[in-house]
Chains A and B, each alone.
Chain A
Amino acid sequence: MVGCCPPMDLMRSEEMQLVQLIIPLESSHLTVSHLGDLGLLQFKDLNADKSPFQRTYANQIKKCGEMARRLRYFREQMSNAGISAPPKSFTRNDIKVDDLEVKLGELEAELTEMNANNGKLQRTYNELVEYKLVLQKAGEFFHSAQSIAAAQQREMEAQQTEESLDTPLLTDQEKSGDPSKQVQLGFFTGLVPREKSMPFERILFRATRGNVFLRQTTAENPVTDPASGEKVEKNVFVIFYSGERAKTKILKICEAFGANRYPFSEDFGKQAQMLKEVSGKLSELRTTIDAGLLHRGNLLQTIGDQFEQWNILVRKEKSIYHTLNMLSMDVTKKCLVAEGWCPVFATQQIQDLLHRATLDSNSQVEAIFQVLYTKESPPTYFRTNKFTTAYQEIVDSYGIARYREANPTVYTVVTFPFLFAVMFGDWGHGICLLICTLYLVIREKKLGSQKLGDIMEMMFGGRYVILMMAIFSIYTGFIYNEFFSVPFELFGKSAYDCRDLSCKDATIDGLIKVRDAYPFGLDPVWHGSRSELPFLNSLKMKMSILLGVAQMNLGIMMSFCNATFFRSCVDIWFQFVPQIIFLNSLFGYLSFLIVLKWCTGSKADLYHIMIYMFLSPTDDLGENELFSGQKTTQIVLLLLALVAVPWMLLPKPFIMKRQHENRHQGESYIPLQAEESLQGEAANGSHGEHEEFEFSEVLVHQLIHTIEFVLGAVSNTASYLRLWALSLAHSELSTVFYDKVLMLAWGYNNVFILIIGIIVFIFATVGVLLVMETLSAFLHALRLHWVEFQNKFYFGDGYKFYPFSFSLMVEEEE
């Protein structure tokens, strides 16, 4: 900034340089890998014209992709089996990538084979389970049918002699059908999904025109379907039919309904034998399957132990080849040429690293490191820590700073939470917020390593912003004297008292000031009084303007810092000076009047003064005069403001034109375009120097800038009134919750109502005040910084430094 001071952290982005690395082919992989570990070099793509398939290392990338696919397959299998990979097991048994590729292939083959076998076994097992069910249920059915038939037989024999009306018709028929005439009935047994059982029955009935007898029983437990492997509720059925045609029809229907049929024999002896056989097979299969699953689990566990390590290795490998693909091959095909941006401070580190890589890879030739000179604008890189990162991100989301321009983050760290707190002044709420963030801050190590939800992630990222917001809200809460909207007499006695002992006038004429003003913050006596709102409104409105003017002046001062840094006298004299004069001759003067009015206790009308300062500056001020010579001062200020406008508008374009002409004076020869292309890619950005100077364009640009500033001065000052509006809304809302919920519930003298009141109060406070109000105050503070503060100096048209870094890569994947 200035010569006498050391450069301030974060004020300017790091100095960057464009460097060229010439790396021998044999050490290129290791070099890039080391650079990825360091993470301070942003490679430029020198093969932008080539498609991904035409590049040198396309095959290696394909291989890495294949390995990544295998790893994803393993992850899927592991999550199915309920095995979780330990997040970071740093058991450093170094494995080569080629070995890993072979190993992954073997493991995949083993796993797929195992899965196929297991699947087959499982299917057989499920079929057997179903078969067993059929055997049991149908067996029961046949058994009961047999016993009923036998009973009927006996009954019939008994009844044969005595015919009566009671004899049911059906038995009559059955009786008449003697065994010789009986038609041979066929039957099927099987299982059908329960939800399909009704349509199944209906279709069967229709298709065979009722010449079918279907019997169903429900299987108590859901059965695993062999085909799909899902648990399904099923019914066991037995179908009796007669005739070949009916048989084919039934078979087709069974198939259509996914009803599995199983052979069944009428003979009880055979049934028992089958049942025994099936049970035997089942237990055998169970042990086989269990053994298989155990084996698979073990395999997956061993994979899981090293999974994260492999995963990182593969991703690193892939990114290394991606980077290598961005380098251009030298004509001799013996070395690779890389170009990229790196911060100047990293020069030594990178050189050491190149040296180490050469040694490690036993290369005969050392890599060459050289700095290129370019007109291209370098990327913007701020070295932030865990505290400042969130603030830098707030600024970055508006626009990345131009290279080396003044960084608003330096002030945002304080002013952002401060302006938030002006809108969120309540030390009770501040303490709640503080407790929440303290939890996040204290447990940041643990929380940082685990995955959080979307909203939680955002809260965690901004924990230091919220921490500062909470601390400042506690401070402003003391200033506003509000604790969940309740005032406390913490800093001495109220300055006001009754006029006399009887205190009759207190509700009509009001109290009277008997002491010095309340020493810290707002006098508690105002709370709940009839004149609270007029007083608070006047105070907060004026406070907003004062804070706003202060912050806008700070913004213009930042533009001064920029101008001195870039050594642009034009910007100082024809931008900064008129701007600061314009703003302060109008709104600086207003601020001065506000303070003066407070100090003198004058009853002058500030609106009147400000309006007539423009309308009729020569008129007498009368009773609105705050200080002697005010009229002259006002005329001078008004003239200054009027002069400042053309001062901002006109000289700068003309001076720029002169400068441009001077620079190109005597240049009767225009450099050939071909010359430039000979210089190779290093001169890529040098077109900028020869660009045409369009005077009208510059003038229009300056005109827009001037108009924006002049109108902005008014509208931005008005915009700061949102501080007043939001802080008013906050205090009114918390008063409502306190008075109309908590105090109302208290008034009933009933424990039950009180508890309900407390619960409602807590929910309203948390939901509306702590969440919604925090959000809205946050957004308004954001706007005040982005628009009102930053438009005074911030260009924000840079681009971010994005180094090739493994740690960044890992973060992103997560």
Chain B
Amino acid sequence: MGFFVTSLIFLVIGIIACLCTRICFNRGPSTNLFHLTLVITATVCCWMMWAIVYLAQMKPLINPILNEAE
């Protein structure tokens, strides 16, 4: 799974979460916007974290050198 496919999965999960909160907690436009902001922020945070770790491992300059004991 490449970078873009997983990013797409994150996007889909984000959209699903947005829809879920919209359907489950429909409390008027202002509150819905607030919920939307929360879900988007959370999705972006999670995606960023994953993306950073994934990108860092794509073309690493250091290779894992096993410990002698193991």
A and B: real partners?
A: yes
B49-A476 in contact (CB<8A): yes
Task: Say yes or no for A511: interface residue by CB 8 A criterion.
Answer: yes
Q: How far is the CA of A152 from the CA of B52 in the complex (A)?
A: 107
Task: Say yes or no for B4: interface residue by CB 8 A criterion.
Answer: no
B62-A479 in contact (CB<8A): no
Q: How far is the CA of A505 from the CA of B56 in the complex (A)?
A: 24
Task: Say yes or no for B21: interface residue by CB 8 A criterion.
Answer: no
Q: How far is the CA of A164 from the CA of B20 in the complex (A)?
A: 115
B56-A542 in contact (CB<8A): yes
Q: How far is the CA of A530 from the CA of B52 in the complex (A)?
A: 22
A-facing residues in B44-58 (Cβ within 8 Å): 45-46, 48-50, 52-58
B65-A531 in contact (CB<8A): yes
Asked if A415 meets B45 with Cβ closer than 8 Å, knowing A531-B62, A531-B63, the reply is yes
Q: Chain A residues with Cβ under 8 A from B38's Cβ?
A: 410, 413-414
A8-B34 in contact (CB<8A): yes
B-facing residues in A499-549 (Cβ within 8 Å): 506-513, 516-523, 525-526, 528-532, 534-535, 538-539, 542-543, 546-547
Q: Chain A residues with Cβ under 8 A from B19's Cβ?
A: none
A521-B50 in contact (CB<8A): yes
Q: Chain B residues with Cβ under 8 A from A546's Cβ?
A: 48, 52
Q: Chain B residues with Cβ under 8 A from A531's Cβ?
A: 62-65
Task: Say yes or no for A707: interface residue by CB 8 A criterion.
Answer: no
Q: How large is the interface on A (under 10, 10 to 19, 20 to 34, 35 or more residues)?
A: 35 or more
Chain A residue at minimal CB-CB distance from B54: A517
Q: Chain B residues with Cβ under 8 A from A704's Cβ?
A: none
Asked if A535 meets B62 with Cβ closer than 8 Å, knowing A415-B41, A475-B46, A550-B48, the reply is yes
Q: Chain B residues with Cβ under 8 A from A532's Cβ?
A: 64
Q: How far is the CA of A547 from the CA of B49 in the complex (A)?
A: 8
B59-A600 in contact (CB<8A): yes
Task: Say yes or no for A495: interface residue by CB 8 A criterion.
Answer: yes
Task: Say yes or no for B24: interface residue by CB 8 A criterion.
Answer: no
Total interface residues on B, CB under 8 Å, equals 35
Option from A5, A414, A519 in Cβ contact (under 8 Å) with B33: A5
B8 to chain A, nearest CB (A): 13
B67-A530 in contact (CB<8A): yes
A122 to chain B, nearest CB (A): 63
B30 to chain A, nearest CB (A): 5
B53-A8 in contact (CB<8A): no
Task: Say yes or no for B1: interface residue by CB 8 A criterion.
Answer: yes
Q: Chain B residues with Cβ under 8 A from A666's Cβ?
A: none
Q: Chain A residues with Cβ under 8 A from B23's Cβ?
A: none
B67-A519 in contact (CB<8A): no
Task: Say yes or no for A19: interface residue by CB 8 A criterion.
Answer: no
Task: Say yes or no for A418: interface residue by CB 8 A criterion.
Answer: yes
B64-A496 in contact (CB<8A): yes
Q: How far is the CA of A532 from the CA of B59 in the complex (A)?
A: 16
Q: Chain B residues with Cβ under 8 A from A509's Cβ?
A: 63, 65
A535-B55 in contact (CB<8A): no
Q: How far is the CA of A754 from the CA of B21 in the complex (A)?
A: 48
B63-A414 in contact (CB<8A): no
Q: How far is the CA of A530 from the CA of B65 in the complex (A)?
A: 5
A511-B62 in contact (CB<8A): no
B65-A521 in contact (CB<8A): no
Asked if A414 meets B55 with Cβ closer than 8 Å, knowing A496-B64, A532-B64, the reply is no
A520-B64 in contact (CB<8A): no
A510-B53 in contact (CB<8A): no
Q: How far is the CA of A595 from the CA of B59 in the complex (A)?
A: 11
Task: Say yes or no for B26: interface residue by CB 8 A criterion.
Answer: no
B60-A479 in contact (CB<8A): no
Q: List 23 A-B contacts (CB under 8 A).
A: A6-B29, A11-B34, A411-B41, A414-B45, A418-B45, A475-B49, A476-B49, A479-B49, A508-B65, A510-B66, A517-B54, A517-B58, A519-B1, A519-B54, A522-B57, A523-B64, A525-B64, A535-B64, A538-B56, A542-B52, A543-B53, A546-B52, A547-B49
